[in-house]
Amino acid sequence: MVRRIVRSRVADHPAADDLVQETLLRVLGAMGRVEPGMLEPYAIVTARHVIASMWKDQDRHRRNQHRMADLRLPDAPDADLLLGEDRAAVAQALQHLSDRERDTLLAHELHGQDTRSLADELGSTAGAVAAQLNRTRARLRVEYLLAVERTEPFSDRCRPVLIALSSGDRRRQRDVDAGRHLLECELCARLSQPLLGRGQQHDDEVRIPIRADADVVLARQGVRELAARAGFSPTDLTIIATAVSEISRNIVRFATAGEIVVELLEEPRPGVRIVARDTGPGIPDVEQALTDGFSTYRGLGLGLPGARRLMDEFAVVSEVDRGTTVTMTKWRQEGSP
Amino acid sequence: MTEDHTVTDDESSGFSTLDRQDEHQLLPELVAHLREHRTKLRQEWATRIHDAHLLDAMTPQEMSTETRSVYDNYVEVLETGSVEALQDYARNLSERIIPRGVETHEVVGIVLLLRDVLARSLFEKYQTDFRLLNRVLDAYEPAANRIANTVAVSFVDERERVIRQQQDAIRELSTPVLPVRERLLILPIIGVLDSERARQLTEQLLTGIRTHRAKVVVIDITGAPDVDETVANHLVQTVDASRLMGASVIITGLSPEIAQTLVTIGVDLSKMNTIGDLQGGLEEAERLLGYKVTRQDGPVGE
Amino acid sequence: MNTGPALVSILRQGSYLIASIHTALDDSQLMRLQKDLVDQIGRHRSRGVIIDVAALDVLDSFGSRTLRDIAEMARLRGALTVIVGIQPDVAFAMVSLGMGTGSVHAALDLEEGLEYLDRQVRARQPGSSVVVPR
Ligand SMILES: [Zn+2]
């Protein structure tokens, strides 16, 4: 019976954005049709399906692609095994929540209790309850993914980073320096894929991984495209692309891996911010690296100081053996459209 | 403006429910009435325009001519239902009054006043028969709104066009690059240069070099009162960037003070082609341009 | 050796080589251009080299440096180099970055570049003190 539901559900809802939201809403919708004793397994299967379609959307991780294939062929011999696996994962994820978090979430999503009456019961406000529910959903997604991967976080930085990504809270992501952690932590880089894809692709931001020479060209093109949308003049676009070229090259030359994140700004006026992170050896003397003529590669020693001259704001933070983050901003000229 | 939008909405919904029969029967009657009392109504309207301090920029004669034309156009649109003629007239009127500084609110204001004057007159005429008055107003208002809308839109369109034209003209005027003769540009720098303006000048010069396929550029800084370090740096960058596009730069009007500034920031003046005055600079430019002609006669040392 | 659509084409015209860059190049592609071009200058005993950079999206420190290196190596092999097609925005960004023109000559476009080479090379030929190394 469960299998049949899964199959029909897969056909009906090919895409899913949010594991818990979707799962619980579906369970809620099916409550009348499901026998009381079957509610829990049904929820688990639905959860698994939602997750699977999430992975499918991402289409990034081979290991999980075959999970998906299994789901689309529910008669495959190991389907029951996988089903058990997911049931365990959901159970394990739920265990990581506090009693209060779990009860509130279930009361809201499963029994339809609204945030106002929950707030009354908990001696809180509706807004606070709603925020708490969002955090709980974000945590549940993270715990589920960890359980599915059958792994523990590599460090105590992993959970805060993953939860910040899961909740889509950009400020929190900055606070925990999520971008840097994803460069450093292979596990989180992998788990972040389905989390980042949760329907919140920001169209005012692009992220370009930098590993090889060719990526420098991609970074130049990426930043040019995005900045063009902010109305920069052709000259400014070339200036920004040139600065990005310089700092991306630094990543390729000095670090094994890094990324360029380009973000459009609205306040106080239109602009573009570029963050370049790497996991390189770091710069022991930033002051010196910003001096003209200081160079350890075949350039003109213009990498950092040159980029600084091209941009309006420029900051370098570097830690030896850990890496470097360059943050630079260009504001659109007043006269531009 | 928000009010105008509601007006437009009323109009479209009003039209769909309007009894077509009424429009056909009553409008000719209205038009006849408005023609009959033309002088009196137009006078009344002109007085109200005056009281509201609209179109103050116009002389009484102009007012008289224009109000007559607007009135007649207005009644004609009521009669024919075609706004095309009105559109042309409104655009033509706008073209004449925009240079006089007439604002959008004035134009919208006078049309709404006319609408009001005529509505009051209709009210007076039909007030004894309330049902008929209702039908008359139902027929009149949508047409009147359409007229107000047309005039306002025409005016705003025309105004935008004029503004665009003016901006283009100003941009043209402030384009500093003057092609003197084939392949020779002059960039006279006049007035105070800040970083942003220096930047714009450089961009314009570089584009000018490409457009005019310039080989020599004379930058005359006689008219620049002070050149600080930042501007001096821009100047050096401009010279370098021009070279990158294959054009040589001659700088004229360099005062001893500015020369000092350039030396202070580390510019090697011997690498810059500087000539005392513009005349000398132009002669040098011609020499540079004629250089290739002389060259073909035989090799010339560097 | 090249696969896919050519990023750069190098044509021989008389005693000149004309290298046209067709797209944005990364550092290794620039190095490859340098090597190919210098090889061909030697092989064809070219007297002049034109590098058309109009299609480059930027000329950053590495790109500028590479062009200078090419010019220097060409000079050592007896060839004069001229860079053509630097666009206004690229020129502006180059000088803002802090790149001077150095001693490499730049011309507006291919036509101008050829004219420059003709003039310079002809001027050098009779009684020229430049020895073309083999
Ligand atoms: Zn981690």
Domains of chain B: 11-169 (1.10.490.10), 178-301 (3.30.750.24)
Contact across the interface for A306 and C61, Cβ inside 8 Å = yes
Residue-wise pLDDT for B60-99, tens only, equals 888 888 888 888 888 888 888 787 878 888 888 888 888 7
Exposure pattern of C21-46 as b/e (b: 16+ CB <10 Å)? beebbbbebbbbbeebbbebbbeeeb
Whether pLDDT at B209 is above 80: yes
Beta bridge partners of C16: C13, C48
Tokens of A257: 């891996």
* Angle separating helix axes B130-174 and B60-80, nearest 10 degrees: 120
Question: Any residues with CB less than 8 A from the CB of C105 and at least 6 apart, and which?
Answer: C80, C81, C82, C83, C116
In 3D space, the residue among A319, A312, A296, A316 whose CA is nearest the CA of residue A304 turns out to be A316
CA-CA distance, A63 to A147, in Å (whole number)? 15
Residues C93 and A238: beta-carbon distance below 8 Å: yes
- How deeply is B140 buried, as exposed, middle or buried, from its count of CB atoms within 10 A (0-12, 13-18, 19+)? buried
Chains that touch A (3 or more CB pairs under 8 A): B, C
CA-CA distance, A144 to A139, in Å (whole number)? 8
Following CA atoms C42, C45, C47, C49 in sequence, which dihedral angle do they give, to the nearest 10 degrees? -40
B172 shares contact with chain A (CB less than 8 Å): no
Residues of chain A with CATH 3.30.565.10: 205-331
CA-CA distance, A125 to B102, in Å (whole number)? 56
Question: Any residues with CB less than 8 A from the CB of A332 and at least 6 apart, and which?
Answer: A230, A231, A232, A236, A269, A270, A271
| Domain count along chain C | 1
Domain that holds residue C24: 8-124
What per-residue confidence (pLDDT) applies to B148? 86
Residues C73 and C38: beta-carbon distance below 8 Å: yes
CA-CA distance, A290 to A303, in Å (whole number)? 8
Give the gap in angstroms from C-alpha B208 to the nearest C-alpha of chain C: 9
Whether pLDDT at B271 is above 50: yes
CA distances from B244 to B184, B237, B239 (A): 16, 10, 9
CA-CA distance, A335 to A270, in Å (whole number)? 12
Identify the residue whose tokens are 């365990």. Answer: A88
B235 shares contact with chain C (CB less than 8 Å): no
CA-CA distance, B32 to B79, in Å (whole number)? 9
Centre of ligand 1 to C-alpha A18, Å, is: 21
Model confidence at B58, pLDDT cuts 50, 70, 90, reads confident
**What is this model's ipTM?**
0.89
B8 or A330: which leads in pLDDT: A330
C104 shares contact with chain A (CB less than 8 Å): no
CA-CA distance, C39 to C28, in Å (whole number)? 16
On chain C, the residues whose CB falls within 8 A of the CB of A239 are: 89, 92-93, 96
CA-CA distance, A125 to A118, in Å (whole number)? 9
CA–centroid distance for A293 within its chain: 38
Question: Any residues with CB less than 8 A from the CB of A184 and at least 6 apart, and which?
Answer: A279, A323
Model confidence at A151, pLDDT cuts 50, 70, 90, reads confident
* HEC string for chain B: CHHHHHHHHHHHHHHHHCCHHHHHHHHHHHHHHHHHCHHHHHHHHHHHHHHCCCCCCCCHHHHHHHHHHHHHHHHHHHHHCCCHHHHHHHHHHHHHHHHHCCCHHHHHHHHHHHHHHHHHHHHHHHCCCHHHHHHHHHHHHHHHHHHHHHHHHHHHHHHHHHHHHHHHHHHHHHCCCEEEECCEEEEECCCCCCHHHHHHHHHHHHHHHHHHCCCEEEEECCCCCCCCHHHHHHHHHHHHHHHHCCCEEEEECCCHHHHHHHHHCCCCHHHCEEECCHHHHHHHHHHHHHHHHHHCCCCCCC
Give the helix ranges, DSSP H, for chain A: 2-12, 19-30, 39-58, 62-72, 79-95, 99-109, 115-122, 126-148, 158-167, 170-175, 178-184, 186-196, 213-229, 234-254, 286-289, 303-310
Centre of ligand 1 to C-alpha A58, Å, is: 20
What per-residue confidence (pLDDT) applies to B179? 79
CA-CA distance, A90 to A145, in Å (whole number)? 9
Residues A197 and A57: beta-carbon distance below 8 Å: yes
On chain C, the residues whose CB falls within 8 A of the CB of A309 are: 96-98
Is the torsion defined by CA of B141, B142, B144, B148 positive or negative?
Answer: positive
Comparing A206-215, A268-277, B73-82, the range with the smallest average pLDDT is B73-82
Question: What's the whole-number mean pLDDT along residues B140-167?
Answer: 83
Contact across the interface for A235 and C64, Cβ inside 8 Å = no
Comparing A57-61, B61-65, C9-13, the range with the smallest average pLDDT is A57-61
Residues B188 and B204: beta-carbon distance below 8 Å: no
- How deeply is A300 buried, as exposed, middle or buried, from its count of CB atoms within 10 A (0-12, 13-18, 19+)? buried
On chain B, the residues whose CB falls within 8 A of the CB of A235 are: 203
> CA angle B143-B147-B148, nearest 5°?
120
Q: What H or E segment, with its residue span, contains residue A260?
A: strand A258-265
pTM of the model: 0.62
C65 shares contact with chain A (CB less than 8 Å): yes
CA-CA distance, B105 to C81, in Å (whole number)? 65
Contact across the interface for B300 and C106, Cβ inside 8 Å = no
Tokens of A274: 């570029």
Contact across the interface for C96 and B237, Cβ inside 8 Å = yes
What per-residue confidence (pLDDT) applies to A297? 46
Say what percent of chain B tops pLDDT 70. 84
CATH of A205-331, one of 3.40.50.1010, 3.90.45.10, 3.20.20.60, 3.30.565.10: 3.30.565.10
CA-CA distance, B277 to B222, in Å (whole number)? 8
B121 shares contact with chain A (CB less than 8 Å): no
Comparing A52-56, A286-290, B95-99, B141-145, the range with the smallest average pLDDT is A52-56
Residue-wise pLDDT for A63-114, tens only, equals 333 333 333 333 333 444 555 666 677 778 888 888 888 888 877 776 677 8
What per-residue confidence (pLDDT) applies to B167? 64
Whether pLDDT at A23 is above 60: no
What per-residue confidence (pLDDT) applies to C69? 93
- The CATH number that applies at residue C106 is 3.30.750.24
C134 in a domain, yes or no? no
Contact across the interface for C98 and A306, Cβ inside 8 Å = yes
What per-residue confidence (pLDDT) applies to B134? 85
Q: What are phi and psi of B8, to 5 degrees?
A: -60, -40
Comparing A3-12, B111-120, B133-142, C13-22, the range with the smallest average pLDDT is A3-12
Give the gap in angstroms from C-alpha B203 to the nearest C-alpha of chain A: 8
Tokens of A104: 């509130």
CA-CA distance, A336 to B8, in Å (whole number)? 34
In 3D space, the residue among C71, C58, C51, C127 whose CA is nearest the CA of residue C99 turns out to be C58
